[in-house]
Structure 1
Amino acid sequence: MIRHLLAASLLVAGIGSPVSAQSKKPLFPEKPGMVSYTYRHSFQKDVAATLDTIKAFGITDMEFSNLFGRKATDIRAALDARGMKCSSYGTNYADLMEKTAEIAGIAKELGAQFVRVAWIPHSGPFTLAMADKTVEDFNRVGKILREQYGLTFCYHNHGYEFEPHGDGTLFDYLVQKTRPEDVSFEMDILWTFFPGHDPAKLLNKYGKRFQLMHLKDLRKGVTGNLSGGTPVENDVALGTGQLDLPTILKAARKAGVKHYYIEDESPNIQKQVPQSIAYLKSL
Structure 2
Amino acid sequence: MNTALISAQKSKQLFPQTAGMVSYTYRQSFAKDVAKTLDTLKTLGINDIEFSNLFGRKATDIRALLDERGQKCSSFGVSYADAQNKTAEVAQNAKTLGANYVRVAWIMQKPPFTIDDAKKAVEIFNKIGKQLKNDFGLTFCYHNHGYEYVKYEDETLMDFIIQNTNPDYVSFELDILWAFFPGQDPADWLKKYPKRYKLMHLKDLRKGIVGNDSGGTSVENDVALGTGQLDIPAILKAANNSSIVHFYIEDESPSYTKQVPQTLTYLKNLKK
Question: Does TM-score exceed 0.5, indicating one fold?
Answer: yes
Structure number with greater Rg is 1
Aligned counterpart, 1:251: 238
One-letter amino acid of the counterpart of residue 62, structure 2: I
| 8 Å CA contact retained: 2:108, 2:117 | no
Note the aligned Cα RMSD (angstroms): 1.2
2:120 aligned to which of 113, 129, 133: 133
Alpha-carbon distance in 1 for matches of 2:41, 2:10: 30
Unaligned runs of 5+ in 2: 1-7
Asked whether 1:162 is paired with 2:149, we answer: yes
Aligned counterpart, 1:88: 75
Aligned counterpart, 2:163: 176
Asked whether 1:97 is paired with 2:88, we answer: no
1:108 aligned to which of 90, 95, 101: 95
* Cα deviation, residue 34, structure 1: 0.2
- Structure 1 segments, 4+ long, off by >6 Å, are 21-24
Alpha-carbon distance in 2 for matches of 1:142, 1:276: 33
| 1:131-180 alpha-carbon deviations (Å, 9 max, x no partner) | 00000000001000000000000000000001100111000000000000
| 8 Å CA contact retained: 2:23, 2:50 | yes
Aligned counterpart, 1:39: 26
| 8 Å CA contact retained: 1:219, 1:236 | yes
Aligned counterpart, 2:43: 56
Aligned counterpart, 2:140: 153
Aligned counterpart, 1:223: 210
| 1:100-153 alpha-carbon deviations (Å, 9 max, x no partner) | 000000000000000000000321210000000000000001000000000000
Alpha-carbon distance in 1 for matches of 2:203, 2:144: 13
Aligned counterpart, 2:173: 186
Aligned counterpart, 2:260: 273
Unaligned runs of 5+ in 1: 1-20
- Percent identity reads 66
**More displaced 10-residue stretch of structure 1: 22-31 or 254-263:** 22-31
| 8 Å CA contact retained: 1:93, 1:121 | no
If the length of structure 1 is used for normalisation, what is the TM-score?
0.92
Number of equivalences? 263
